[in-house]
Chains A and B, each alone.
Chain A
Amino acid sequence: MERYDERAINKLEVTAVKIRKHIIEMLYKAGSGHPGGSLSAVDAIVALYFAHMTHNPKKPSDPNRDRFILSKGHAAPALYSVLAESGYFSVNELKNLREINCMLQGHPARLYTPGIEASTGSLGHGLSFANGVALAGKLDEKKYNVYVMLGDGETDEGQIWEAASSASNYKLDNLTAFIDRNFLQIDGNTEEVMRLESVRDRWESFGWHVIEIDGHDMEQILEALHEADNHKKTPSLIILNTVKGKGVSFMENNVDFHGVPPNEMEYNLAMGELDALQKKLEASN
């Protein structure tokens, strides 16, 4: 609690709950989508947009902006909610998620939505895209940083390791990747589907600076980002130890909510829990 103001942290925590409510609301209305991995990735995305990155919602193409790339594109509801709350577009748009003639596609689409850097949804591309952005930043001597959110299951993809190699080879210290380490992918536990451990050893052996934190702790997230930005000569990886479905009791660690939206009863229960959590956080401020 030294570097970060307690009130500021509390405010971020409240924002993260609001984003979680948006996610549940959007997915319930859309009748499809991915709650689990959206809820686990929320806190880091909130920290980036509301406390860390240099960005201007009114100038989404500003050449000096920091960039965030959601490589695990199925967590789109989390990013859309954050972009809306940041002012990239109206919060009213959120209710149209996945509807025809809407700017919010099922997975992020660069040409549709202000603030979306890369079209993702097919896993494994985002880190490579980020390599290009980071290399361009170095070439142009820009000060911006590039952040990428990877799913843990996503790192099954071979392309991730091509990108991990080139980021290290080109000493892209303006690039930081997160792994949303929630241990679940569609077919089950990541260690049973396709073993990933040791995640730290793997990335360190590729030449990355690895930081491991509680991915739901705002202060730890901000400290890790600070460390990553200041680490020179290699790219950084922040392993976010997270809980899939975080914030909604019956979705937590429940793989059934990877790609299934809440029904009416579940929606009401989830919103009740999140309302209570928001009130509690607001009261503690």
Chain B
Amino acid sequence: MMNPRNAYGEKLIELGKKHSNLVVLDADLSKSTKTIMFAKKYPKRFFEMGIAEANMISAAAGFASCGKIAFASTFAVFATGRVYDQIRMDVAYSRANVKIFATHGGISVGKDGASHQMIEDIALMRVLPNMTVLAPSDATQTGKIVELMAETEGPMYARVGRANAPIIYEKEYVNSIELGRGMIVEDGSDITLIACGTMVDPVMDAQKRLAKQGIHARVIDMHTIKPLDKKLVIKCAKETGAIITAEEHSIIGGLGSAVAETIAENNLSVKFKRMGIKDVFCESGDPKDLLEKYGLNENHIVKNVKNLLKD
């Protein structure tokens, strides 16, 4: 187990050494987002912006206009919804080299409740022209994604969850992580499970359980939601004939929608189901209980696979 947030903090330090033009901004959450690790190592290049997220995003764009790689971090709910207009104008429309790295995405934030459970961020960022949208799954992938964000020009948004996450990728897989390329984590021919971020791990657990019951699911880690790896989606649709998407996000506008759009526009006839938050605000509670109540754990995945294949 390792927290993807720590992977972010560690990678920032590494990148800070490599790129003298990398700056980091935070909005009074550096201990949680782990930008504090960079702040301690490179205090001159860390900018505490206080509880003023709009100012942080526009200022990050100002930095970018001076040739800086500007990382800006806070919780996903404040990093997107609260500052949508600033991201739209100063980052996306201006194609600024700003990297918004958000933590505490999804409902597994838990007890803080719906105010802090961001389930619309991927949708909000996905509709912005020029924006790359990322949701890495484990610490290894997060580290690599952060590196690719820093070293690829353009506006980008990435979100991770709050909790620790099991390691999915050993270090030797790092070089197979590319922006815009979904990763086949497990192969199978009966159905494809396409997940991102915090849902990759439960999908893998479900895959193992299904395998014991004779259902062989393919698992795709779709860390890049935009630009979507359409080729891979089409290939999986053709080869397995059934797709379930899983994300800790609204079923509207996120990974599930992106996959559905690809399927619909390519005349693919597949069985299809989106798993995500079903257009409701959730509530306070233990993350485990929330994921059970709102239908986003291993059990629900297994049940959905069986139901879909039964029809």
Residues of A at the B interface (CB closer than 8 Å) are 63, 109-111, 117-122, 124-126, 128-137, 139-140, 158-159, 162-163, 165-166, 169-170
Q: Are A118 and B62 in contact (CB under 8 A)?
A: yes
Interface status of B66 (Cβ within 8 A of chain A)? yes
B55 within 8 A of A: yes
In angstroms, how far is the closest chain A Cβ from the Cβ of B165? 32
Given contact pairs A118-B94, A132-B62, A165-B52, enumerate 20 new A-B contacts (beta carbons under 8 Å): A110-B95, A111-B94, A111-B95, A118-B65, A119-B89, A122-B85, A124-B54, A125-B86, A125-B90, A129-B58, A131-B55, A132-B58, A132-B61, A136-B67, A136-B68, A139-B45, A140-B66, A162-B50, A166-B49, A166-B55
B112 CB → nearest A CB, Å: 23
| Residues B89 and A122 in contact, CB atoms below 8 Å apart | yes
Interface string of B175-207 (1 = CB under 8 A from A): 000000000000000000000000000000000
Contact yes or no, B66 A129, CB < 8 A: no
Q: Are A135 and B55 in contact (CB under 8 A)?
A: no
Ranked nearest first, the 5 interchain pairs of A and B with the lowest CB-CB distance are A132-B62, A128-B58, A132-B59, A162-B55, A162-B52
Residues A128 and B55 in contact in the complex (CB < 8 Å), given A110-B94, A119-B89, A121-B89: yes
Whether the pair B61, A118 counts as a contact (CB closer than 8 A) is yes
| Chain A residue contacts of B94, Cβ below 8 A | 109-111, 118-119
Cα-based distance from A134 to B55 in the complex (angstroms): 13
Could you say which residues of chain A place their CB within 8 Å of the CB of B67?
63, 136
Q: How many A-B residue pairs have CB under 8 A?
A: 106
Complex Cα–Cα for A121 and B88 (A):
12
Minimum distance in angstroms from B38 CB to a CB of chain A = 14
* Chain A contact residues: helix, strand, loop or mixed: helix
Contacts of B281 in A (CB 8 A): none
Q: How far, in whole Å, are A109 and B85 apart by their CA atoms in the complex?
A: 15
Q: How far is the CB of B87 from chain A (nearest CB, A)?
A: 11
Q: Which residues of B contact A162 (CB under 8 A)?
A: 50, 52, 54-55
Q: Return chain A residues, CB-CB under 8 Å to B64.
A: 132
| Shortest Cβ gap from A141 to chain B (Å) | 11
Interface: B23 (CB within 8 A) = yes
Closest partner residue, chain A, to B57 (CB atom): A128
Interface of B is mostly: helix
With A132-B65, A165-B52 already in contact, the answer to whether A125 and B89 are too (CB < 8 A) is yes
Which residues of chain B have C-beta atoms less than 8 A from A159's C-beta? 54-55, 58, 86
Q: Which residue of B lies closest to A67 (CB)?
A: B65
Contact status A128-B62, CB under 8 Å: yes
- A215 and B90 CA atoms in complex are apart in Å by 28
Tell me, rounded to whole Å, the shortest Cβ–Cβ distance linking A66 to chain B. 13
Q: How far is the CA of A137 from the CA of B89 in the complex (A)?
A: 22
Q: B23, B55, B61, B70: which has the most chain A beta carbons within 10 Å?
A: B55
| Nearest CB in chain B: distance from A61 CB, A | 9
B60 within 8 A of A: yes
- Residue in A closest to B66 when the chains form the complex, CB atoms: A136
Provide a sorted-by-A list of 28 A–B residue pairs whose CB atoms are within 8 angstroms.
Answer: A109-B93, A111-B94, A117-B65, A122-B89, A128-B54, A128-B59, A128-B90, A129-B62, A129-B90, A131-B55, A131-B58, A132-B59, A132-B60, A132-B63, A132-B70, A133-B65, A134-B62, A135-B62, A135-B63, A136-B66, A139-B44, A158-B54, A159-B55, A162-B50, A162-B55, A163-B59, A166-B50, A169-B50
Q: Are B61 and A129 in contact (CB under 8 A)?
A: yes
Residues of A within 8 A of B294 (CB): none
Contacts of A126 in B (CB 8 A): 58
The CA-CA distance from A29 to B194 in the complex, in Å, is: 53
With both chains docked as a complex, state the minimum distance between the C-beta of A281 and any C-beta of chain B, in angstroms.
36
Q: Note all chain A residues with C-beta closer than 8 A to B90.
A: 118-119, 125, 128-129
Q: A136, B63: Cβ atoms under 8 Å?
A: yes
